[in-house]
Structure 1
C-alpha cells in the first residue's frame, strides 16, 4: 500500500494545472447547505461523499473551560485526516450539565457550549449531524421525557409512551435547538450550513409495539414538524437499520430475531415525507457475538449491500452508515481487526460510489482526542496513537475528495461513467 499523500500526488499528476487550481479554489469558497439529488448528497450541485465520525459528548466538554480545548483538538485532528462530518448530541435532558433542565427550560451556559461546538466545527470545515434526543437513558432521552410526564401527573406506563402520548410529543417539539441563534457566529442554527442534518432520535426502538405503527406515527409527525421549522436542512431518523413487518422477505437479513421485535421498520420508516436520507448502524460484535471472527466481516458486507440496494430500489435516497466499529473489549480484538472492519466499510462504499449508487458515507464510532481515554466505551479511536487506522481514514478521505473533484471536471452530476481514477485506486492493492 502507499500513503494517502502518495495517492494524492499520483492523482495530481493526472490532472491539468487548471484542474488542480480549481480544486484549491473550491476549498476556499463559502459554504452552502448540503442537499440531496436523487440518491446522492450534493453541495452546489456537485457530489458530496461523507467520511466522518461520532463524538457524542462535545457539548458537555465545551461547558467547562478546562475541557473545552478538547473540542478544538478533536476537530483539528479529524480535519487533518480529511474527515468532513461529525455526528454529536444536541441534547442533554435533565441530567448532569443538562441543556434542557425541564421541558423548554434551558441552561444558557450549556447552550453557549453547543454554540462553541458549532462554531469550532465551522472553523475546521467539519459539518455536523445534530441528534435531538436519545432512545436510551444516557443523557436523559426518552426515559427522561417520560419522567417529566409522570412528574406532571400524566398516567404513563412505560418509556414507549414517549412516542404516543401527545404531551410528551409536544415536549419534544418544543425543544428549540433549530431556532437557536449562535452567540458566537450570530447565525440561527436552521440557517447555518455547518449543520449537515438533523437527527430525530438516536436509535429509536418501540418494543411495546412490534407492528411498528406507534413509532411510524411519531416519525411522520416529527419529520414533518422539523421541516416546517427548517425546510432547508436535511433530516434523518437515527435508525439502526433493522427490517420489520412491511418487508418480511428482508427480515432474515437482520442480525438476530430480536431485531424484528423492536418496532422499527427500515424501509417503511424511511418512506416518510420529510425524511431525506437513511441511517444504518453496524455492530456485529454486539449483535452477533463478541468474539472476533470472520463472520463479522461477512455480515458487515451483506448488511451494507442490502441497505444500499434498498436505498436505491425502494427509497431513492442516500444512505449513511452512521455508526460502525469494533470494541477493544471484544475477545480476540487487536488493531488489525479494527483496520479490517474499517477498510471493509470504506471499500463497500467506494464500490457503490463508482457506480453512482446510494452508499454515500460512513461515520465511525468513535474518534477521541488525546487525554479523553476515561470516556472510552471500548470503541474509541485516538488518531495520534493509531497510525495504521489513521492512514486508512486519511486514504479514504483523499479518495472521496478526488472522486468528487474528478466527477465535477469530467461529467454532469448523475453520470455513472468510469473516471480517470481506475479501479486500483479504490482498493488496497496500492
Structure 2
C-alpha cells in the first residue's frame, strides 16, 4: 500500500502542469513552448554574508517589480545561506521563493559555488572535493553537500516556483585552485554529477536539472568532455556562461556554436545562465548596452537557445564600468521582450 501511495504521488507530481518540463531540445509549460529571460540575483538569500542582505525585507520584491511578471532569477542556495549557528535555517530560502512566487517569477536554484563565494565553509572545489569531499560535512556546515542537496530538494520538490535545480555554479575539477587539470578530471566530474543528479531525480519527479557549467573549455568540460557530461540521463539542460557581445563567441573546440551542436545531438536544450556586458565596452551608455543585449538575444534565441539570464542585479544601481544592472536600466525592458 505504501509503495502504491508513493507511486501515485509521483505520478501526480509528473502530471502537474505548473512545472516547466523538457520537450525534446526545448522546454514547455502547460503544453506550450517555453523560453525565458531574467537576471542573476545571486545574493537573494544573503543575510549579509554574501554581498548586501536580501533575505528579508522589501529588496527582492522591489527587484522583481522592476523585472515584471514571468521572469526568471538565478540565485545561490548554498548550505551556508541556510545555516545559523550550526543549525539548519530555512528562513532565507523560504523568503526568496515566497517573494518570487508572489512576483510571478521562477528561480534557478544553484546549490553550491565552485569558487567558494557565499559558500565559504566548502571553499573552492578541487578534484578531491568532486571525488569524495562532497560526501563529508565541511567546516561548520551541519551536513555534507550531498545530504544538503537532498534536504533542499525534498523541502521544495512540489514548488513550481523552482524552475530547475543547478548542482553547482561553474563546475570544474582542477587539482587545486591554481593547479593543473589532470587526466582524471572529466571522469571525476562526470561521476559526481551522475551520483548527485540521480539522487535528485530519485527524490523529485517534477523539476528540471542542470549541472552548472561555463562551457568554454574548463577543466573536466573541455571539447567532447562537455557533451559527455551533459549526456547523463539525469541532466535535462546544457548551460553556458558568456561575457562577450558576440552571440557565437569562442573557438572551434569550445565555442557557443560547438555547444549548440553538441546539445542538439543530445536532444537537450541550452540556456545561458550568465551573460554580462560592461556599458563602456559596448558604446559607453546604458542604452548601447541594452541594444547589444537585444541583438545578442535575437541571434541566440533564433539559434535555439531557450533562456538568457543577465549578470547581475544590483539595488545600488547601474554604472558604466561594470556588469551591474539596477533600477530603471534599459536592459530590463529588453528582458521583457524575451520572456515566455
TM-score (norm 2): 0.78
Contact 1:86/1:129, CA 8 A, preserved across alignment: yes
Distance 1:218 1:91 in 2: 17
Query: 8 Å contact 1:146–1:168 — kept in the other structure?
Result: no
Q: Over residues 187-239 of structure 1, what are the superposed CA-to-partner deviations in whole Å (9 max), with x where a residue is unaligned?
A: xx111111110000000111224431111111111111111121221110110
How far apart are the structure 2 equivalents of 1:49 and 1:101? Answer: 36
SS in structure 2 opposite 1:197?
strand
1:91-126 Cα distance to aligned partner (Å, 9 max, x none): 152xxxx42368xx4342xx2121011011111111
What displacement does 1:391 show? 3.0
Supply the distance in 2 between the matched residues of 1:377 and 1:225 (Cα, whole angstroms).
42
Alignment partner, residue 87 of structure 2: 106
Task: Please give the residue correspondences for 1:99-248 in structure 2 after superposition, counting only pairs within 5 Å.
Answer: 99-100=82-83, 105-108=86-89, 111-140=90-119, 144-145=121-122, 159-165=126-132, 168=135, 171-175=144-148, 176-180=151-155, 189-208=156-175, 209-211=181-183, 212-243=186-217
Match of 2:178 in 1: none
Matched with 1:278 is 238
| CA–CA distance in structure 2, aligned partners of residues 239 and 169 of structure 1 | 23
Change (3 A) 1:45 1:135: same
Could you tell me which residue of structure 1 aligns to residue 6 of structure 2? Answer: none
Residue number in structure 1 paired with 2:286: 335
Q: Is structure 2 residue 322 aligned with structure 1 residue 378?
A: yes
Maintained 8 Å contact 1:61/1:71: no
Is the counterpart of residue 362 in structure 1 residue 308 in structure 2? yes
Residue 198 of structure 1: SS of its match in structure 2? strand
Q: CA deviation at 1:319?
A: 0.6
SS in 1 for 2:160: coil
**Helix, strand or coil for the counterpart of 1:162?**
helix
TM-fit CA distance, 1:329: 7.1
Q: Secondary structure at the match of 1:88?
A: strand
2:260 is the alignment partner of 1:308 = yes
Q: 1:161 Cα deviation (Å)?
A: 1.6
Matched, 1:36 2:22: yes
- Equivalent in the alignment of 1:410: none
Q: CA deviation at 1:74?
A: 0.8
**Cα gap change, 1:62 to 1:43, in 2 (>3 Å):** farther
Q: Which stretches in structure 1 are left out of the alignment for 5+ residues?
A: 1-29, 148-157, 181-188, 244-258, 285-295, 402-430
SS of residue paired to 1:347: helix
Give 2:34's aligned residue.
48
Tell me, what secondary structure is at the counterpart of 1:87?
Answer: strand
Equivalent of residue 347 in structure 1, options 298, 320, 337: 298
| Contact in 1 for aligned 2:247/2:296 (Cα 8 Å) | no
* 3-state SS in 2 of match to 1:125: coil
Q: Does 1:263 align with 2:220?
A: yes
Secondary structure of 1:74 counterpart = helix
Q: Tell whether 2:28 aligns with 1:84.
A: no
3-state SS of 2:74 partner: strand
Say whether the 8 Å CA contact 1:236–1:277 is kept in structure 2: yes
1:297 aligns with 2:278: no
- Counterpart CA distance in 2 for 1:67 and 1:56 is 15
Distance 2:188 2:277 in 1: 32
Structure 2 Cα separation of the partners of residues 116 and 332 of structure 1: 38
Counterpart-to-counterpart distance in 2, 1:372 and 1:304: 30
Aligned-pair RMSD on alpha carbons?
3.1
How many residues end up aligned between the 2 structures? 301
